[in-house]
């Protein structure tokens, strides 16, 4: 059967700041500029989750997108939406929440719920002009 990629778009709003605990505020500002504002700033994050695999002959689906919508809701949206990433998402307790680190965290959280017969890619828009993509390599 043909291998097709199915994509599902989702979103969440969150606050964050870029900084390392082991650096001074000056060093953080020097490297991360206004993104290191100690009072936080925030984004409407847009997320695209993509799964590649063979079409199931029975259903004509690679993966039920309704099921994928629910998985993203439970694993990602309910954990990240309207949250402060630095303070409220445990993965970022000691990890700087750059877009790159966030997309890897999201990938890892989804990967364990998706059969290995399916390739997974995650794209995360921090703003319409800045975005990142990760596929587990």
Q: What residues act catalytically?
A: 35, 82, 126
Residues in the chain: 137
- Report the nearest approach of a second copy to the CB of residue 32 (Å): 8
Residues 3-62 that bind a second copy (CB under 8 A): 3-11, 13-16, 18, 31-35, 37, 39-44, 50, 55, 59-62
Among 75, 77, 88, 119, the residue binding a second copy under the rule CB under 8 A is 88
Residue 76 dihedral angles phi and psi, to the nearest 5° = -115, -60
Geometric angle at alpha carbon 27, from 22 and 31, rounded to 5° = 110
Smallest gap from residue 77 Cβ to a second copy (A): 11
Question: Are 15 and 44 in contact, with CB atoms under 8 Å apart?
Answer: no
Residue 6's nearest CA partner among 96, 66, 46 is 66
Does the footprint of a second copy cover residue 114 (CB under 8 A)? no
Cβ-based nearer residue to a second copy, 55 or 114: 55
């Amino acid at each position: 059967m043909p291998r097709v990629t199915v994509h599902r778009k989702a979103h969440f709003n969150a606050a964050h700041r870029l900084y390392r605990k082991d650096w001074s505020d000056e060093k953080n500002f020097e490297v991360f500029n206004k993104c290191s504002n100690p009072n936080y700033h925030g984004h409407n994050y847009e997320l695209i989750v993509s799964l590649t695999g063979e079409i199931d002959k029975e259903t004509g689906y690679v993966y039920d997108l309704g099921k994928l919508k629910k998985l993203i809701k439970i694993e990602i949206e309910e954990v990240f939406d309207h949250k402060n990433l630095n303070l409220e998402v445990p993965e970022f307790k000691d990890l700087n929440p750059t877009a790159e680190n966030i997309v890897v965290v999201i990938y890892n959280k989804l990967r364990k719920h998706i059969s290995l017969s399916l390739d997974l890619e995650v794209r995360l828009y921090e703003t319409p002009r800045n975005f990142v993509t990760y596929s587990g390599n």
